[in-house]
Amino acid sequence: MSGWVKTQYADIRYTEHTTRQHNGKPDRTFYIRYWRDGKKIDESAGRWSRGMNALKASKIRSVIVDNIKLGKRPQSIKEMRQMELERQEQEKQQQEYEEKINITFGTVAEEYFKTVKGSTKKSHLSRYNNHLKPAFADLPLKDISPLHLERFKRDLSKKGLSPKTVHHCLTLIRSIFRKAVAWDHFQGNIPTSKISFPKVNNRRLRFLSHQEASELLKELSERSPQTHDQALLALQCGLRAGEILDMKWGHVDFKQNIIHLPETKAGESQQVFMTDNVKEMLLNRIQDNSSLDDYVFQGQDGGRQYKVSDTFKRTVFDMGLNDNIDAQDRRYRVVFHSLRHTFCSWLAIQGTPLYTIKELARHKTITQTERYSHLIPDHKQDAVKAMAATFNQKREELGEEKICSFPG
């Protein structure tokens, strides 16, 4: 560094760098001098190469000197720089806060779908793109009110969408909001908590006859042995599709003829009894090199199969099992879940007590099982007739006079 060089401005000086250049000349560092509390202070105002000059340095000195007289901040370049950093940090925080509170539904939805996998993601994305995105993607979460959702419900209904579809749309909105809360993007009450969801009667009414079930299994065995085996499990063990696809060989106990379900819809560890047909089918499927951690039904990559093959749907269509079924009432349509419904229905028809059906179907509450009560043979009339027959028999044995006479 060279020695001090005075400028035309009072108490503004600079030094020249011996090697660093700016605009073909030695770079300069400008300094200001002022007094505070009786002490002389020299501070660097900045370099010429970084935009500083004598005039700017003089203006900075004037601000500091005036502040010292008035008892205001800043009273030094160091403090001035610190205050600027604080201001920038506050500005940054304010910007982040505004971005946070104004985050759009679409932005959170994009993050939400990164957490969803498999067939669920496909159906949710379709529902989002077709219905939710046009209505809510550009709206900040904080601006979506229960009134918005009520209008959304009404518009979907006007388009002819079923109550079940509207229900699914509202459920997806709720799921995205719940993620927003978990990720600290949203605070307060989720707007779906302030509206009523459409009532959906999704109870399956259609169950297969023994002939239909037999013909369906036969057709499936010719088209897709794996789909046939899955259908057999649903039909004779009452397993749900997800439970079938989650099955690993470690869950199968051939000695006890039991399938263990570690994670069920009811959230408990449960057991399913194998029929002879199911046991034979599983024994035919297992390989010598199968491990306990291998899935019973593997996908193309050897891992878990994410959904039942569309072969089932095509087979049902080709067999005409859904012919003449009103498309608006899906409860009568044969789907894979109809096999589980058939399992419960057949149990009821043969006179199995409701509580036993509940245990075999692994229903969480007896209310779920009561839908099959109308299929159970009505023994009430037979019971009354039997009671009357016993009465008449005793009447004949004892004589009408004795039975009809009263003391006194």
Instruction: Specify the pLDDT at position 377.
Output: 77
| Among 55, 75, 98, residue at a domain's last position | 98
pLDDT at 404 over 80: no
| 292-338: pLDDT as tens digits | 999 999 988 888 898 899 999 999 999 998 887 765 456 678 889 99
Instruction: Specify the pLDDT at position 405.
Output: 40
Single out the residue of 45, 11, 42, 18 nearest to residue 29, CA to CA.
45
pLDDT at 136 over 80: yes
Residue 158 lies in a domain: yes
CA gap 169, 322 in Å, rounded: 26
pLDDT at 2 over 60: yes
Single out the residue of 157, 186, 181 nearest to residue 169, CA to CA.
157
Residue 199 lies in a domain: no
Highest mean pLDDT among 23-32, 198-207, 394-403: 23-32
Mean pLDDT of 221-227: 95
Same domain, 335 and 383: no
Single out the residue of 82, 29, 36 nearest to residue 56, CA to CA.
29
Q: Which of 124-133, 198-207, 302-311 has the lowest mean pLDDT?
A: 198-207
Same domain, 93 and 143: no
Instruction: Specify the pLDDT at position 204.
Output: 58
Question: Across the chain, what does the average pLDDT equal?
Answer: 87
Residue 35 lies in a domain: yes
| 235-263: pLDDT as tens digits | 999 999 999 999 999 999 999 999 998 75
Instruction: Specify the pLDDT at position 399.
Output: 63
Q: How many domains does the chain have?
A: 4
Instruction: Specify the pLDDT at position 145.
Output: 93
Instruction: Specify the pLDDT at position 402.
Output: 43
pLDDT at 383 over 80: no
| 60-77: pLDDT as tens digits | 999 999 999 999 999 999
pLDDT at 160 over 90: no
pTM above 0.95, yes or no: no
Residue 325 lies in a domain: yes
Same domain, 20 and 141: no
* Residue 177 domain boundaries: 105-194
Same domain, 369 and 256: yes
CA gap 208, 219 in Å, rounded: 15
CATH code, domain carrying 38: 3.30.160
Q: Which of 39-48, 168-177, 346-355 has the lowest mean pLDDT?
A: 346-355
Residue 92 lies in a domain: yes
Burial class (CB in 10 A: 0-12, 13-18, 19+), 131: buried
Greater confidence (200 vs 198) lies with 198
Q: How far does CA 204 lie from the centroid of its chain?
A: 24
Residue 200 lies in a domain: no
Q: What band does 203 get if pLDDT is binned at 50, 70 and 90?
A: low
Tokens of 115: 């957490």
Instruction: Specify the pLDDT at position 66.
Output: 95
Instruction: Specify the pLDDT at position 129.
Output: 93
pLDDT at 219 over 50: yes
Same domain, 219 and 244: yes
CATH code, domain carrying 280: 1.10.443.10
CATH code, domain carrying 178: 1.10.150.130
Same domain, 260 and 228: yes
Instruction: Specify the pLDDT at position 222.
Output: 95
Instruction: Specify the pLDDT at position 207.
Output: 86
Mean pLDDT of 114-123: 78
Instruction: Specify the pLDDT at position 211.
Output: 93
| Among 194, 225, 250, residue at a domain's last position | 194
pLDDT at 400 over 70: no
Residue 111 lies in a domain: yes
Same domain, 222 and 354: yes
DSSP codes joined into one string, 357-386: HHHHHT-SSHHHHGGGGGGS---HHHHHHH
Same domain, 284 and 310: yes
DSSP state of 159: T
Greater confidence (288 vs 226) lies with 226
CA gap 282, 253 in Å, rounded: 11
pLDDT at 387 over 80: no
Same domain, 77 and 143: no
Same domain, 268 and 339: yes
Same domain, 117 and 152: yes
| 81-115: pLDDT as tens digits | 999 898 888 888 877 776 677 889 999 999 999 88
Same domain, 246 and 314: yes
Q: What band does 406 get if pLDDT is binned at 50, 70 and 90?
A: very low
Mean pLDDT of 29-52: 94
| Among 54, 77, 98, residue at a domain's last position | 98
Greater confidence (121 vs 316) lies with 316
Residue 205 lies in a domain: no
